[in-house]
Structure 1
Amino acid sequence: MASGKILVTGAGGNLGGLTIDLLLEKVSPEKLAVITRDPSKLKRLVDQGVSVHKADYLDYDSLLSAFQGVDKIMFIGAHAFTDRIKQHFNVITAARQAGVKHVVYTSIQRREGSGVVLWDITESDTFTEQALRASGMAYTIMMQPSFLETFFLYFGAKALEDGVRMPFGKGKTAPVTRDDLAAANVAVLTQPGHENKTYKLSGDEAFSFSEIAQILGEVKGRKVSSENISEDEYLDFDFHGLENAPKQFPLFRLAWVKAMNNGDFEETTGELERLIGRKPTTFREYMKNNYPPV
Structure 2
Amino acid sequence: MILVTGATGNLGQSAVKQLQQHLPLNEFSVLARSQNKAQQYLNQGMKVIYGDFDQPQTLEEAFRGIKKLLLISTMEQNRFEQHKNVIDAAKKAGVKHIFYTSLAIQNIETSAVKDLMISHFQTEDYLKASGLKYTILRNSMYAEAIPQIIGEQAIATGLALAGGAGKVPYALRAEFGEAAANALMQDGHENKIYSLVGSRTYSYQDIADLLSEISKQKVNYQNLDDASYRDMLHSIGLPDFIVYLTHGTVADMQQHQYEVHRTDLEKLLGRKTQALTDYLTTVYTTNS
The equivalent residue for 1:75 is: 71
Structure 2: how far apart are the matches of 1:283 and 1:239? 29
Map Cα deviations across residues 154-185 of structure 1 (whole Å, 9 max, x no partner): 21221111111011323211111111001101
**Alpha-carbon contact 1:202-1:269 (below 8 Å) kept:** yes
Structure 1: how far apart are the matches of 2:286 and 2:86? 34
The equivalent residue for 1:174 is: 169
Bigger shift: 10-19 or 203-212?
203-212
**Helix, strand or coil at the partner of 1:194:** coil
Map Cα deviations across residues 125-169 of structure 1 (whole Å, 9 max, x no partner): 111000111111111111111111122222122111111101132
- 5 Å matches for 1:14-25? 14-25=10-21
**Alpha-carbon contact 2:175-2:269 (below 8 Å) kept:** yes
The equivalent residue for 2:9 is: 13
**Helix, strand or coil at the partner of 1:192:** coil
Tell whether 2:255 aligns with 1:259: no
Please point out which of 235, 245, 263 is paired with 2:230.
235
The equivalent residue for 1:28 is: 24
Q: Which has the higher helix share?
A: 2
**Helix, strand or coil at the partner of 1:41:** coil
Tell whether 2:152 aligns with 1:157: yes
Structure 2: how far apart are the matches of 1:257 and 1:238? 12
Structure 2: how far apart are the matches of 1:113 and 1:150? 20
Bigger shift: 136-145 or 210-219?
210-219
**Alpha-carbon contact 2:60-2:90 (below 8 Å) kept:** yes
Structure 2: how far apart are the matches of 1:238 and 1:86? 30
Code of the residue aligned with 2:262 in structure 1: it is: T
Aligned residues: 287
Tell whether 2:37 aligns with 1:44: no
Please point out which of 250, 262, 282 is paired with 2:275.
282
Tell whether 2:139 aligns with 1:144: yes
For normalisation by structure 1, the TM-score amounts to: 0.91
1:96 Cα deviation from its structure 2 partner: 0.7
The equivalent residue for 1:125 is: 120
Identical-pair percentage? 32
Alignment root-mean-square deviation, CA: 2.0
Unpaired runs of 5+ in structure 2?
none
**Helix, strand or coil at the partner of 1:61:** helix
1:265 Cα deviation from its structure 2 partner: 0.8
1:268 Cα deviation from its structure 2 partner: 2.4
Map Cα deviations across residues 198-235 of structure 1 (whole Å, 9 max, x no partner): 11111011021233211210122211122111222222
1:293 Cα deviation from its structure 2 partner: 6.5
Structure 1: how far apart are the matches of 2:102 and 2:168? 16
Map Cα deviations across residues 56-115 of structure 1 (whole Å, 9 max, x no partner): 1111011111101000001000114x3111101101101111110010000011115763
1:117 Cα deviation from its structure 2 partner: 4.6
**Helix, strand or coil at the partner of 1:165:** strand
1:261 Cα deviation from its structure 2 partner: 1.3
For normalisation by structure 2, the TM-score amounts to: 0.93
Structure 1: how far apart are the matches of 2:239 and 2:10? 19
Runs of 4+ in 1 over 6 A off after TM superposition: none
Structure 1: how far apart are the matches of 2:283 and 2:217? 16
Bigger shift: 168-177 or 61-70?
168-177
Structure 2: how far apart are the matches of 1:135 and 1:97? 11
**Helix, strand or coil at the partner of 2:21:** coil
1:257 Cα deviation from its structure 2 partner: 0.7
Map Cα deviations across residues 12-70 of structure 1 (whole Å, 9 max, x no partner): 11111111121011111112121112112222322333221222111101111110100
Structure 2: how far apart are the matches of 1:196 and 1:281? 28
**Helix, strand or coil at the partner of 2:86:** helix
Structure 1: how far apart are the matches of 2:61 and 2:142? 32
**Helix, strand or coil at the partner of 2:102:** strand
Q: Kindly tell me: are residues 239 and 114 of structure 1, through their superposed partners in 2, closer, same or farther at Cα, counting changes over 3 Å? A: closer
Please point out which of 35, 51, 54 is paired with 1:55.
51
Structure 2: how far apart are the matches of 1:195 and 1:220? 46
